Chains A and B, each alone.
Chain A
Amino acid sequence: MKIIRVARRRFAFFLLGFVGLGCLTSASMVALAEETASGAARFAQLDADTEQVLNEVAALGAEMAALEEARELSPKTQLLVLVSVDAIPFFQLDAIQLQIDEHTASFHQYTPRELAALQQGGSHRLFWDNVPAGRHQLTVSMMGRVPKDPDFQREIAMVTITGVGRRVVEVRISPGKSQPFPELALKEWK
Chain B
Amino acid sequence: MSRCWCKYLLAGFAGLAWQAQVLAETPIAWARIEDPLVRAAQFDLLMGEPFAALTQLEADLAQGRIHHRPEQAQLVLGGMYLANGAHHKAAKIFATLGNSDQPQAVRNQAWLSLAQVQYQRGEAEASLASLGNIRGELPSQAQQEYLLLKAMLHMQQEDFAKAVNELRQLGKKSLVQQLSEKSIWATYGRFNLGVALFRQGEEEEGRKLLQELGDTPADSEEIRALRDKANLTLAFHFLGKNQPEKAQQYFVKTRLQGPMSSRALLGLGRAYAAKEMHKKALVPWLKLVKRDASDPAVQDGLLAVPFAFGKLEAYKQALEYYQQALEKFKAEMEQVRQAEEAVNSGALMDRLARAVASQSADQRWLVQELPDTPGGRYLWQLFATNEFQETLKNYAQLRLSLGRLEQWSSEIDDAKDLPPTQRKTLQRKVSALQGDLLAMLERIQAHLKVLAQESLAQRKQRLLGYAGEARFSMAQIYDYAAKRWGGEQ
If over half of B's interface residues share one DSSP class (helix, strand or loop), that class is named, otherwise mixed; here it is helix
Q: A7-B473, A50-B444, A120-B29 are in contact. Are A43 and B391 (CB under 8 A)?
A: yes
Q: Which residues on B sit within 8 Å (CB–CB) of A47?
A: 87, 390-391, 394
Bound Cα distance from A146 to B292, whole angstroms:
53
**Interface membership of B401, Cβ < 8 A:** yes
**Interface membership of B290, Cβ < 8 A:** no
**Interface membership of B229, Cβ < 8 A:** no
Bound Cα distance from A167 to B87, whole angstroms:
35
Q: Is the CB of B84 within 8 A of A58?
A: yes
Bound Cα distance from A58 to B55, whole angstroms:
6
Q: Is the CB of A121 within 8 A of B42?
A: yes
Q: Give B329 Cβ to nearest chain A Cβ, in Å.
A: 12
| Chain A residue, CB-CB nearest to B270 | A15
Q: Which residues on B sit within 8 Å (CB–CB) of A20?
A: 3, 7
**Interface membership of A3, Cβ < 8 A:** yes
**Interface membership of B39, Cβ < 8 A:** yes
Tally of B interface residues using CB under 8 Å: 83
Q: Is the CB of B7 within 8 A of A49?
A: no
Bound Cα distance from A42 to B444, whole angstroms:
11
| Chain A residue, CB-CB nearest to B53 | A122
**Interface membership of A27, Cβ < 8 A:** no
Q: Is the CB of B36 within 8 A of A168?
A: yes
9-residue interface stretch from A64-72, A93-101, A136-144: A64-72
Q: Is the CB of B401 within 8 A of A121?
A: no
**Interface membership of A178, Cβ < 8 A:** no
Q: Mark A157-190, 1 if CB is under 8 A from B, else 0.
A: 0000000001010100000000000000000011
| Chain B residue, CB-CB nearest to A56 | B433
Q: Which residues on A sit within 8 Å (CB–CB) of B63?
A: 66
Q: Give B416 Cβ to nearest chain A Cβ, in Å.
A: 11
Q: Give B284 Cβ to nearest chain A Cβ, in Å.
A: 14
A-contacting residues of B (Cβ < 8 Å)?
2-4, 6-7, 27, 29-30, 32-33, 36-37, 39-40, 42-47, 51, 54-56, 58-59, 62-63, 65, 67-68, 81, 84-89, 122, 266, 270, 296-297, 300, 303-304, 307, 310-311, 387, 390-391, 394, 397-398, 401, 404-405, 408, 411, 415, 417-418, 426, 429-430, 433, 436-437, 440, 443-444, 447, 462, 465-466, 469, 472-473, 476-477, 479-480
